[in-house]
Amino acid sequence: MTLTQMFDPTAVAIVGASTTEGKIGYEAMANAAEFDSPVYPVNPSSKGTLFGEAFVPSVTDIDDDVDLALCCVPGPVTPEVIEECGEAGVGAVVVYAGGFAEAGEDGERLQQSVVEVAEEYDISVLGPNTSGFVVPRTNLLCSFASGAEKLPAGNTAVVAQSGGVAHALAFQSRRQGRGVSVMVGLGNRANVGFTDVIEYFDGDEDTGAIVIHVEGTDDGRALLEACRESETPVIAYKVGQSDVGEFAESHTGALTGDHELYLAGFAQYGIPTVDATDDLLDAAAALADSPEPDGPNVGVVTAQAGPGIIITDRIQRAGGRLPELTAETRDRVDELLSGVTYTGNPVDTGRPMPAFGDVVTAVAEDDNVDIVLVYELFEQAMGFPADALDGLAERVDKPILFATDGIEEDMADDKATLTDAGVPMFETPERAGDAAAVLARYAKIQGRAGAALEASR
């Protein structure tokens, strides 16, 4: 099964397209109409047009090659619609309706018949019980949620078990000035699961990191193996540390499983894990936008000591370390700062200052440092050290993360300059520290994997 017909279709049919605002068949069509390629509303009982496209009675009546159908019909009609899609040569279907495996025995049987028809016609089924997916870069908005058309394109692939969480992640990503290469809600995973989607987006050149939100899955090992096989970094967020079993099962038809087992599995397979949606996106930004770190040693430069202490604490708690700087770096920094502040690691400049960029450069060039994290509250008169940071990460071949805070509109231009220069930006000292710690753990893991590979030769 390839998912090209799903995520890069020639044309899309919206089966059950509706003229009634608020209905899924209307909202899905409203979003799908933004797609750059042809879109066909399908409904045997509708005439005329919807969003400028003429209704067709059945997907088999479309002359065009339709790769993807968005199935907006009630659950019980779904197998029939998928069969029609099969006859029309459609290779991928999104099923929004609920009432399948998450809803007891009858639902399970219904889902089973979806799977059987899909297998007969070799159709990839996303869902049932999902809010779909969005590929912002091609305006492929296969979700019924409002606002999908405003999600910006970015380099993080969001793959969530829950459609709601997928959307929440995509909206958060936008709010943080980032974006997604794709946002997928898997729902009940009739025959498209984590492994298929991870494999597909590992091969996507617009994806720099893949984040997965996991409630539970029947084949944990396959998931772990897909994560490990992926050349694109994968970061996992497993929910359900406490007992949320009954409610979770009613959601996407899966038990949340043994939380500790999952975490141990991810650790064993070298997949960094986080414990919140915002941390997931932060880690993805750090990994996708940076050179790979060679080790877990973080050099911290801060213009304010208090946030620097928080950052130091978070990095150390999460398995990163703050190495001593070399004598050469200490001399350089001492000279830049005239010895007024702490020139260990973190380097604390006390306030933003004209030499701040030079201090960051000195720390970034330190051989003891694998990852650099900079914190600087915005001061209007000083701005950010954009010149020093532009291209620095590439030159020293190390991740350089930047966290700040201030009045949003005052620092918008300066932030945009750093973002344009490819510097991953963070909002709070904790989130920046946690992101640096994920990089540190990732480096450790990759280091161990590399060493194991060497040893096995």
Contacts of a second copy in 186-225 (CB under 8 A): 213, 215
Minimal distance in Å, beta carbon 148 to a second copy? 9
Closest Cα partner for 1 from 187, 197, 143? Answer: 197
Identified binder of a second copy from the candidate list 252, 297, 329, 349, rule CB under 8 A: 252
Closest Cα partner for 91 from 82, 99, 100? Answer: 82
Q: Which DSSP symbol is given to 105?
A: H
For residue 128, whether the previous peptide bond is cis, meaning omega lies within 30 degrees of 0, is: yes
Binding residues for a second copy restricted to 5-24, rule: CB under 8 A: 21-22
Q: Is 31 in the site for a second copy (CB under 8 A)?
A: no
Can you say whether residue 406 is alpha, beta or left, with left for phi > 0 and alpha for psi between -120 and 50 degrees? Answer: left
Q: Which one, 150 or 448, has the nearer CB to a second copy? A: 150
Q: Which one, 11 or 168, has the nearer CB to a second copy? A: 168
Q: Which one, 89 or 406, has the nearer CB to a second copy? A: 406
Q: Is 305 in the site for a second copy (CB under 8 A)?
A: yes
Identified binder of a second copy from the candidate list 104, 116, 122, 250, rule CB under 8 A: 250
Strands (E) across 338-411 are located at 347-348, 371-375, 400-403
Q: Is 416 in the site for a second copy (CB under 8 A)?
A: no
Are 397 and 291 in contact, with CB atoms under 8 Å apart? yes
Report d(CA 307, CA 375) in Å as an integer. 7
Identified binder of a second copy from the candidate list 1, 153, 255, 382, rule CB under 8 A: 382
Q: Which DSSP symbol is given to 44?
A: T
Minimal distance in Å, beta carbon 205 to a second copy? 27
Identified binder of a second copy from the candidate list 189, 251, 398, 441, rule CB under 8 A: 251
Q: Is 444 in the site for a second copy (CB under 8 A)?
A: no
Binding residues for a second copy restricted to 76-105, rule: CB under 8 A: 98-99
Q: Which DSSP symbol is given to 432?
A: H
Q: Is 143 in the site for a second copy (CB under 8 A)?
A: no
Q: Which one, 24 or 81, has the nearer CB to a second copy? A: 24
Q: Which DSSP symbol is given to 184?
A: E
Report d(CA 457, CA 447) in Å as an integer. 16
Q: Which one, 320 or 424, has the nearer CB to a second copy? A: 320
CA angle 381, 387, 391 (to 5 degrees): 150
SS3 92: strand
Binding residues for a second copy restricted to 275-304, rule: CB under 8 A: 275-278, 303-304
Minimal distance in Å, beta carbon 50 to a second copy? 16
Identified binder of a second copy from the candidate list 248, 287, 355, 374, rule CB under 8 A: 248
Are 158 and 278 in contact, with CB atoms under 8 Å apart? no
Report d(CA 144, CA 167) in Å as an integer. 11
Q: Which one, 5 or 139, has the nearer CB to a second copy? A: 139
Are 209 and 241 in contact, with CB atoms under 8 Å apart? no
Report d(CA 165, CA 184) in Å as an integer. 10
Report d(CA 48, CA 453) in Å as an integer. 62
Q: Which one, 375 or 442, has the nearer CB to a second copy? A: 375
Please list, in sequence order, all residues whose beta carbon lies within 8 angstroms of the beta carbon of residue 155, skipping any fewer than 6 positions away.
Answer: 179, 181, 206, 207, 208, 209, 288, 289
Element (H, E) at 126: strand 124-126
Report d(CA 93, CA 28) in Å as an integer. 13
Identified binder of a second copy from the candidate list 7, 167, 194, 212, rule CB under 8 A: 167
Tell me the window of 35-43, 80-88, 157-165, 444-452 that interacts with a second copy (CB under 8 A).
157-165
Q: Is 340 in the site for a second copy (CB under 8 A)?
A: yes
Q: Which one, 137 or 174, has the nearer CB to a second copy? A: 174
Written as six digits, the tokens of 299 are 């050099």
Identified binder of a second copy from the candidate list 246, 327, 455, 456, rule CB under 8 A: 246
Minimal distance in Å, beta carbon 340 to a second copy? 8
Tell me the window of 4-12, 114-122, 155-163, 384-392 that interacts with a second copy (CB under 8 A).
155-163
Identified binder of a second copy from the candidate list 31, 256, 273, 349, rule CB under 8 A: 256
Identified binder of a second copy from the candidate list 48, 205, 407, 455, rule CB under 8 A: 407
Minimal distance in Å, beta carbon 335 to a second copy? 19
Q: Is 412 in the site for a second copy (CB under 8 A)?
A: no
User: Other CB atoms closer than 10 Å to residue 407's CB: what's the count?
Assistant: 9
Tell me the window of 45-53, 248-256, 359-367, 412-420 that interacts with a second copy (CB under 8 A).
248-256
Written as six digits, the tokens of 406 are 């201030």
Q: Is 400 in the site for a second copy (CB under 8 A)?
A: no
Closest Cα partner for 363 from 402, 392, 329? Answer: 329
Q: Is 235 in the site for a second copy (CB under 8 A)?
A: no
Q: Which one, 130 or 290, has the nearer CB to a second copy? A: 130
Q: What is the number of H-type helices and E-type strands within the chain?
A: 17, 19
